[in-house]
Amino acid sequence: MLRIVYSAASKFKYVTQSLAKINDEGIFHFAPDQLAAQIMSPDKTTMAVLKMPPLSFDEYIVDEELALIVKTDEFNKVVRRATRNDDLIIEYDYDQQILLLSLRDRKTGLIRQFTITSIPATDFKLREPKIDSTARFHMLSDDFKTIIQDSKIVGDTVTFIAKPEEVIVKSEGEEKEYEWIMKEGDPLITLDVDEETTSTYTRSSLEVTSKPTGAADNVKVSYATDYPMQIEYTFPNGEKLVIYIAPSF
């Protein structure tokens, strides 16, 4: 049996938007100890890993492991229909091999049910890149989103230069330039730099990583010179979304 009930459906849309932006399909792994999803962009420059422990849910029944290739765009369209009064119910019909998503209004009991495309995945193993970061900082999600919105006015890439006392964010375009010098306490919550670290990322990749700012208060950013950046969001009930983006050369 597979039945999961999640009460924060309207907040979850910020996560599913990111997943759908990366690729229109991904692998969802249902296990007794957690629900995990792994999404890779077609060009392999962006990857997201979502982990949700049983405590994240109001009801979590997964009797046996099941990995499914799920249409993330369809999943996102359903979740976007959720209001703040709706529970998201995820079920799997083993006989017909279909994934069922339902939105249940907690006030009226009204249930709207959707069937979305899913295909059993074989030999699935959750894989995450190991990044030996040399710079790490922690900031409010809204401030991270501001970086991306500001740079959008200027150029197509964003450069992060981390030093022991500050992080400089820069973007350049034709006769335009943007710079924000960030220090611990202004606006960074924490800053930890092993050595001066510089790397550049496309603004479009960063825009994908900013979607969950609507549901998480803080974000942790880690990277090394000319290596992928790791952007980590942790949500109130223990859910964690980590997005990796490749550098732009």
CATH of residue 73: 3.10.150.10
How many structural domains is the chain composed of? 2
Does 105 share its domain with 144?
A: no
Does 143 share its domain with 215?
A: yes
Does 107 share its domain with 20?
A: yes
In a domain, 26, yes or no: yes
Residues 61-106 pLDDT 10s? 999 999 999 999 999 999 999 999 999 999 999 999 999 999 999 9
Token pair 């549901």 is found at 215
**Rounded average pLDDT over 159-168:** 98
pLDDT over 90 (residue 130): no
pLDDT band at 128; cut points 50, 70, 90 = confident
In a domain, 128, yes or no: no
Q: If you write DSSP's letter for every residue of the chain in order, what string do you get?
A: -EEEEES-HHHHHHHHHHHHHH-S-EEEEEETTEEEEEEE-TTSSEEEEEEE-GGGSSEEEE-S-EEEEE-HHHHHHHHTT--TTEEEEEEEETTTTEEEEEEEETTT--EEEEEE-EEE-SS----------SEEEEEEHHHHHHHHHHHHTT-SEEEEEEETTEEEEEEEETTEEEEEEEEETBEESEEEESS-EEEEEEHHHHHHHTGGGGT-SEEEEEE-TTS-EEEEEE-TTS-EEEEEEPPP-
Q: What is the pTM of this model?
A: 0.94
pLDDT over 90 (residue 123): no
Does 8 share its domain with 109?
A: yes
Domain that holds residue 83: 2-120
CATH of residue 189: 3.70.10.10
In a domain, 21, yes or no: yes
Residues 7-58 pLDDT 10s? 988 889 999 999 999 999 999 999 999 999 999 999 999 999 999 999 999 9
